[in-house]
Chain A
Amino acid sequence: MAAQQLARGLGWFSIGLGAAELFAPKKMSKLIGLSNHATLIRMMGMREIAAGIGVLTEETPAKSMTARVGGDALDLALLGAGLISSKNQRGRVLAATAAVAGVTALDIFCRLQLNGSSQESTTINTVQSVAVNRSPEECYQFWRDLANLPRFMQHVQSVQVVDGRRSHWVVNGPGGSTVEWDAEITDDIPNEAIAWRSLEGADVNNSGWVRFQHGPAGHGTFVKAHIDYEPPAGKAGALIAKAIGKEPGQLVKGDLRRFKHIIETGEIPTTEGQSSGPRTAVGRLAEAFDRA
């Protein structure tokens, strides 16, 4: 986690530095002792901002940290070239070079740390909660009827109840594929909690629990779900991991939100299929992104 924090700090640093380079290239140019390279500095600023946004928005910022290290190398090369030219103030360029070298060391350190942490485990896990204006009993009963799950779990195509404990799941995978598994309920505390895990031979090993707890007076039920996915090794596994893992928190949060909508109102709010004027190409793209 320390590496993630460091990465965030460096991400913001990138955006700050990038903004200064982009909007005040002449001042920056002067500050680091290079004479009149406004366009070049502006381009460096744009690269800096892109790297910063990448580091801040990716769940695992390793790739963008690699980009940062690459960018540092580029900056160092430019400053090196600047040292040779006689038009520039050598003292300032030297100072800037030293500063960039320091940041580069930090970037490399951070990138290596991130590398370490990403290899620790391939399990994707997430915990999400939602407050539901119904009793724990109603929430439990709705969830315990597993055939209800596809109504609010976006990627679940069907859940077939085999017997009191076992069920068969069909889930939408990447690129129109489906993945399947058998699951069993491992713990079932009526009106309080349900825990489950996939059985041997699952396309994706997974397990989880959901808890239905009385909120404070007037606050309904606090529903908390914990879900673990362990994608299999190999290319297919990586694809599945990517599909589930892009935003596992958002996915589960969305599912819980739909659970709330259905149990409170009997339906899920939507605008899909409503009228609109002709969408432009950009608008359609944005819409596809919203729905993804």
Chain B
Amino acid sequence: MLDNQYHKIEDFLMDNSFVEWASGNYTEDDDYWKNFPLHNPVCEDNFKQACTIIKSFRIKPVSDLSAAEIDDLVNNVQSRISGNIAADNVRPIRFRMNNLLRFAAILIIALAVGLGYVVFDTGKNKQAYNKVNLQTCRHIINNSQTPMLVKLPDNSSVILQPGAQVNYPISFAANKREVNLTGEAFFEVSKNPARPFYVYSNELTIRVVGTSFKVMANDRDEQYKVLVSTGRVEVSAHNNKDAAINNKPAVVLTPNQQVVLYRKELKLEKAVLSKPMLLSKESTTIHFNFSGTPFSKVVTTIEEAYGVHIIYDEKVMGNCQLTASLIDQPLDERLKLICKAVEAEYKITGGQIIIQGKGCGN
């Protein structure tokens, strides 16, 4: 409110209440300002100009964070909090590289010692950068005898068979998600057309947007295989990483198709699977439609479909049955629903799925 009689333009502009009102925000002094020119006709001009100034004071906006970037940010913070980070690295999840040098997306393949390095670009074009930064990469090896479930930064899942290993960034790049794989694994990739998902295994490059598929890429094998359960997968072969990404014709796979990569010849051969993949639409309609199905059978179905191992107490849970239609959900949704139905809980520890419950009444 202006007490003095000297109403210069800047007096208006310095007044919080006036600025709020002129900006179009509701204030308690609305009436006062609305009627101001009437009560103070001499100052009307200055008043009007002050209004104009406020209305025209628009600052050039900067680009916002996209919804995906906000998701990443929130996820990263939550991961830090719950300490839900696989393995060794206790460093915070960061977007930027500690080394502020510019770099481009280069993939360096697993060396003989089994370590892999992945370096990504930040979405802008930067110069090639050869140095590797261990702090920004997660490296998971399944050294156990049973399959291991790994959650990726975008909530996709990978089930690593014994001996398999993956490398992936602590936080995926803005425009693509990249993962390095050696061995056999099943991927369930969360859908995001704006951020295609790439899996690299030596000469093999797989590109998807949101699908589930199996990769068989053991180091010693002469042939690599990719088998598709759901969605659409593009597979290409190459000797040099950058060539793959730039315009090599890819083989497109749809559900229940597979491709074999003959590594030496760099040849890709596509085939239809004689038996549909367990997680394809046809198969799940049959096998994931449970009706009074014993709990053990439900568990076995999931284990076979995903290649995971689920631990539970048969004595306790043995009398549980499930009637549910779990046709079209990703793995964790299915687990959730199953657990809900039998009043149990699941948790994932060290890549193992453990279901614990009190059993079912009668």
Co-assembled chains A and B: no
